[in-house]
């Protein structure tokens, strides 16, 4: 695996700083099936660029987490035009990272990356729970004739019987997804955005307790007022503190083994949205390793 220099990688750390990595950032700007706004191919490079402005000291944890974690960033590479081949490459990359006993976090790209990302975890663990932040359920069997569409990302993960799902922020689901949801209610738990004021996070704590967890965060899970830079923004979503609280509960009560953040479609001149995603990635890693 070839890494960017510290200075050019995630967080832009001084090249003189030497550490043994625990985390590998994978930039994977796959954009093949977007159905409204585009631009997710540029997400990874803009997240990394914005991360150079993230304060390295975390006032909540009273330290500079990167020094305790060790984070390296893979050099960008060509992504195949064929989506099945692209997902196979994503799977191979994460497999190599797992073989080295490291933690992969992938920056997309569209949400269709997730079945490729999670494939090695499904093979490695007897059971894996997908912790899913999104505006959309993504449980369609196919969309516009494509089974590996961004709108089918979670359905493809649930093709494997050892995968369960906890979703937060869902506020857009099609009628065609309801039968699958009902049929699989024993392994799918959805915290609907419409019920946000009534969410029982004690229930979530019990659901996630001692599970092996893969975290996938579609940034349209955030309310569109703070995250319009995505292909399919939706009102009524998560705010910053709400999302962090959920991730913190998961980090304290389960074993998060990998993650991806996807669907950032950068808007030229509006760097605050790229910065939000970069800081989200840093917080996910800090919570995973330090609480």
Q: How many structural domains are present in the chain?
A: 1
Asked if residue 204 is part of any domain, the answer here is yes
Per-residue CA distances from 287 to 58, 136, 237, 243, 257 (Å): 11, 25, 22, 12, 12
pLDDT in tens, 116-160: 999 999 999 999 999 999 999 999 987 777 787 878 999 999 999
**To 10 degrees, what angle do helices 114-124 and 83-99 make?**
40
Domain that holds residue 159: 23-290
Asked if residue 2 is part of any domain, the answer here is no
User: What pLDDT is stored for residue 148 in this prediction?
Assistant: 78
Instruction: Residue 259: give its domain's CATH number.
Output: 3.40.800.10
Query: Edge to edge, what strands does the sheet with 255-262 contain?
Result: 71-73, 23-28, 103-108, 255-262, 212-218, 128-133, 163-170, 188-192
Measured on CA atoms in the order 283, 286, 288, 291, is the torsion positive or negative?
Answer: negative
Q: Please say whether the beta carbons of 66 and 51 come within 8 A.
A: no
Give the end-to-end CA distance of the chain in Å, rounded to a whole number.
29
Three-class SS state of 51: helix
User: What pLDDT is stored for residue 99 in this prediction?
Assistant: 98
Asked if residue 134 is part of any domain, the answer here is yes
Q: Please say whether the beta carbons of 137 and 154 come within 8 A.
A: yes
> At a CB cut-off of 8 Å and minimum separation 6, what does 78 contact?
none
User: What pLDDT is stored for residue 151 in this prediction?
Assistant: 81
Asked if residue 145 is part of any domain, the answer here is yes
Asked if residue 15 is part of any domain, the answer here is no
Asked if residue 1 is part of any domain, the answer here is no
User: What pLDDT is stored for residue 2 in this prediction?
Assistant: 94
Q: What is the DSSP letter of 105?
A: E
Per-residue CA distances from 195 to 181, 190, 199, 200, 237 (Å): 18, 10, 6, 10, 11
User: What pLDDT is stored for residue 150 in this prediction?
Assistant: 77
User: What pLDDT is stored for residue 92 in this prediction?
Assistant: 98
Residue 86 CA, chain-centre distance (Å), reads 17
User: What pLDDT is stored for residue 149 in this prediction?
Assistant: 82
**b/e per residue 98-128 (b: at least 16 CB within 10 A):** beeebbbbbbbbbbbbbbbbbbbbbeebeeb
Asked if residue 5 is part of any domain, the answer here is no
Which residues of the chain fall below pLDDT 70? 32-38
Could you tell me the two tokens for 236?
């009524």
Phi then psi for residue 129, to 5 deg, are -105, 125
User: What pLDDT is stored for residue 165 in this prediction?
Assistant: 98
Asked if residue 10 is part of any domain, the answer here is no
Per-residue CA distances from 105 to 71, 74, 260 (Å): 10, 11, 5
Q: What is the pTM of this model?
A: 0.95
């Amino acid at each position: 695996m070839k890494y960017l220099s510290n200075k050019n990688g995630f967080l832009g750390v001084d090249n003189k700083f030497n550490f043994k990595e625990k985390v590998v950032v994978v930039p994977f700007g796959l954009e093949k099936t977007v159905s409204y706004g585009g631009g997710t191919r540029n997400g990874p490079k803009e997240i990394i660029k914005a991360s150079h402005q993230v304060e390295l000291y975390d006032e909540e944890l009273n330290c500079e987490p990167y020094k305790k974690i060790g984070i390296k960033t893979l050099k960008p590479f060509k992504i195949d035009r064929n989506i099945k081949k692209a997902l196979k490459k994503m799977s191979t990359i994460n497999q190599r990272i797992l073989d080295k006993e490291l933690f992969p976090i992938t920056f997309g790209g569209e949400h269709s990356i997730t079945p490729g990302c999670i494939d090695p975890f499904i093979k490695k663990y007897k059971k894996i729970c997908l912790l899913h932040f999104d505006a959309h359920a993504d449980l369609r069997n196919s969309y516009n004739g494509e089974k590996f569409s961004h709108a089918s990302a979670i359905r493809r993960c649930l093709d494997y019987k050892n995968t369960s799902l906890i979703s937060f922020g869902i506020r857009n689901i099609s009628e065609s997804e309801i039968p699958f949801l009902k049929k699989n209610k024993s392994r799918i738990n959805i915290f609907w955005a419409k019920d946000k004021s009534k969410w029982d996070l004690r229930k979530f704590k019990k659901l996630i307790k001692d599970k092996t967890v893969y975290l996938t965060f579609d940034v349209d899970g955030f309310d569109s007022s703070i995250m319009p830079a995505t292909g399919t923004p939706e009102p009524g979503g998560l705010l910053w503190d709400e999302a962090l609280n959920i991730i913190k509960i998961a980090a304290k009560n389960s074993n998060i083994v990998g993650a991806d953040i996807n669907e950032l479609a950068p808007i030229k001149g509006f760097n605050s949205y790229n910065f939000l995603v970069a800081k989200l990635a840093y917080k996910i890693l800090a919570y995973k390793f330090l609480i």
